[in-house]
């Protein structure tokens, strides 16, 4: 499918969604988020795609919301604004966060407000030294409405989440790795290749087990240990009966001189 603000491509079993509105530093508006929703649906539906990388052409991952779009929002009634945010904007983040396929964000330059929230929704983030993740909504009288206030305290702790949300402080790529918000720090010219390599590693995992484990981790954020023991035992029973598990056991038992056990 042809898009105006992004494109998709394939590297083996990894699908890439690449923002390419370089002139606007990949700033987002409703139409962009609608395209992201469509592209994510396309990649999730593609059986040959086993993992997804979110990347961007140009100097910045995403400079936030388009200023013209923000000005337009000031003229709209509250109900319409709610539809604008919780329709395509939250719809994109929901798709990424709930994707059963592994997701990796490759972040160079700015990942501001909506761009930061899109990155937070991914399973993993690979960043460069010049990356900046910033939830600066408070500076324009808004709040992170796409999941950041839920995810950040769980990813980096309440104190650092307060810094990012209540002060609008941006954190560098190096800090993101130190704080546990990002997985790896790489050179800009290695960013996309490294993100694809990580996605390929994840794509090689048993798909059903990955999806179940991811669901369990997300559910556990709101759950109790007793609920998780019950849910995990049911999920494990299903996985034990799967062809993927049987193949893995045969592979491990047939490996000479090695012992790998979960």
CA distance 32 to 54: 14
- Domain assignment present for residue 213? The answer is yes
pTM over 0.85: yes
Which residues, at least 6 apart from 60, have a Cβ–Cβ distance to it below 8 Å?
A: 25, 26, 108, 109, 110, 111, 115
Q: Does residue 42 share a domain with residue 22?
A: yes
Asked if 223 and 185 sit in the same domain, the reply is no
The first and second tokens of residue 87, run together, are 């329709």
Report the percent of the chain where pLDDT is more than 90: 70
CATH of the domain at 122: 3.90.226.10
Range of the domain at 120: 6-203
Residue 66 CA to its chain's centroid (Å): 21
Report pLDDT digits (tens) over 162-208.
Answer: 999 999 999 999 999 999 999 999 999 999 999 999 999 999 999 99
- Cβ atoms of residues 62 and 147 within 8 Å: no
pLDDT of residue 260: 43
Span 43-57, average pLDDT: 98
Q: What is the mean pLDDT of residues 145-150?
A: 90
Burial class (CB in 10 A: 0-12, 13-18, 19+), 215: middle
Do the Cβ atoms of 153 and 208 come closer than 8 Å? no
- Mark whether 73 and 31 lie in a shared domain: yes
Give the pLDDT confidence score for residue 255 in this predicted structure: 65
Last residue of a domain, one of 160, 184, 203: 203
List pLDDT tens digits, range 64-109.
Answer: 988 888 787 778 787 777 777 778 999 999 999 999 999 999 999 9
Q: Euclidean distance between the first and final Cα of the chain, in Å?
A: 41
Distances (CA, A) of 223 to 15, 22, 124, 134, 216: 32, 41, 22, 28, 9
Same domain assignment for residues 106 and 199: yes
Place of tokens 């996309």: 192
Question: How far is it between the farthest Cα atoms of the chain?
Answer: 69
What residue ranges in the chain does DSSP mark as E strands? 6-11, 14-19, 51-56, 103-107, 110-112, 124-128, 132-134, 170-172, 184-186
Q: Say if residue 146 is in the same domain as residue 226.
A: no
Q: Looking at the predicted structure, is the pLDDT value of residue 210 above 70?
A: yes
Range in 96-100, 156-160, 220-224 with the lowest mean pLDDT:
220-224
Residues 121 and 97: beta-carbon distance below 8 Å: yes
Confidence of residue 151 (pLDDT cuts 50, 70, 90): very high
Same domain, 98 and 69: yes
Cα separation of 118 and 59, whole Å?
17
- Measure Cα distances from 217 to 189, 212, 236 in Å: 32, 9, 14
């Amino acid at each position: 499918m042809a898009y105006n603000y992004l494109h998709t491509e394939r590297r083996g079993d990894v699908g890439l969604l690449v923002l390419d509105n370089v002139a606007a530093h990949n700033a987002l508006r409703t139409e962009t988020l609608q395209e992201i929703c469509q592209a994510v649906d396309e990649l999730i539906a593609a059986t040959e795609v086993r993992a997804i990388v979110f990347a961007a052409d140009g100097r910045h991952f995403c400079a936030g919301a388009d200023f013209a779009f923000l000005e337009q929002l000031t003229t709209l009634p509250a109900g319409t604004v709610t539809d604008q945010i919780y329709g395509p904007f939250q719809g994109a983040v929901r798709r990424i966060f709930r994707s059963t396929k592994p997701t990796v964000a490759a972040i160079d330059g700015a990942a501001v407000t909506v761009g930061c929230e899109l990155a937070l929704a991914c399973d993993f983030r690979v960043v460069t030294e010049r990356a900046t993740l910033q939830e600066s909504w408070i500076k324009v009288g808004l709040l992170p409405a796409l999941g950041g206030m839920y995810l950040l305290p769980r990813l980096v702790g309440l104190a650092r989440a307060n810094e990012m949300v209540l002060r609008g402080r941006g954190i560098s790529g190096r800090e993101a790795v130190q704080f546990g918000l990002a997985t790896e720090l790489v050179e800009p010219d290695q960013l996309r290749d490294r993100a694809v390599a990580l996605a390929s590693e994840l794509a090689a995992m048993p798909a059903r087990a990955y999806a179940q484990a991811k669901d369990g981790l997300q559910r556990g954020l709101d759950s109790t240990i007793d609920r998780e023991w019950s849910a995990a035992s049911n999920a494990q029973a299903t996985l034990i009966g799967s062809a993927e598990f049987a193949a893995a056991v045969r592979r491990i038992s047939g490996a000479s001189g090695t012992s790998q056990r979960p």
